[in-house]
Amino acid sequence: MKFSYLSKRSTFYRSRWYKDGTSFHVQVHGTPFIYRGKRHVLGIVQDVTEQVQAEKILEQRVTARTQELSARYDVTAVASASLNLETVMERSLDRVLGVMGSRIGGIHLVDKASGEVNLATWRNILAEIVSEIQTMPIGSGIVGRIIEQGAPLVVPAMADDPDAAPAARRILDQPVYVGAPNRPSRRCAC
């Protein structure tokens, strides 16, 4: 690196490569000075690859959180724009599927009186699977796991999940976003 253009203390970042082709990031500090009547530059090069990687991870987390908050805002806007529960659930499901990058999903409502969860609305779920998940006892299947854990769930491979409906295990070979519980007066497993 040439520092001849430095006229004052400077700091800059560069990407460099090892002989094997992998890259790393460096922070370069340069300070010009005069020594025995000639201009010199004291340069300090520091590997900041871990810091750069940590910043990228943080940016990804911020982006994901922003998407989540945006979806929650949109769902809230949908809910406040309509008093019709069916419309609210359908629009909310569409928004959540869009944010999650999924085509398949549904919303189950918990009916404590009957001890069941009922599929209230869905998108792109095959009829064979719908018939198996239309009504289920509370605590059974993947929906039961969502309610128990109280957290969103992404199933990497339905075929490998013991809680998946048999038809879903046979048919779905892709990652599926199954849901996130809500805590309204009527509990739902989205």
Average of pLDDT values for 20-24?
83
Q: Which CATH class is domain 52-189?
A: alpha beta
Q: What are phi and psi of 63, to 5 degrees?
A: -60, -45
User: How far is C-alpha 15 from the geometric centre of its chain's CA atoms?
Assistant: 28
* Mean per-residue pLDDT of the chain: 78
pLDDT tens track for 143-159: 888 877 777 677 777 77
**pLDDT grade, residue 185 (50/70/90)?**
very low
**pLDDT at residue 17, rounded to an integer:** 78
Q: Which long-range contacts (CB under 8 A, 24 or more apart) does 109-113 make?
A: 109/186, 109/187, 109/188, 110/138, 110/147, 110/186, 110/187, 110/188, 110/189, 112/138, 112/187
**pLDDT grade, residue 4 (50/70/90)?**
very low
Q: Where are the domains of the chain?
A: 10-47, 52-189
User: Cα–Cα distance between 25 and 45 in angstroms, integer?
Assistant: 10
Query: Do residues 168 and 131 touch, judged by C-beta distance below 8 A?
Result: no
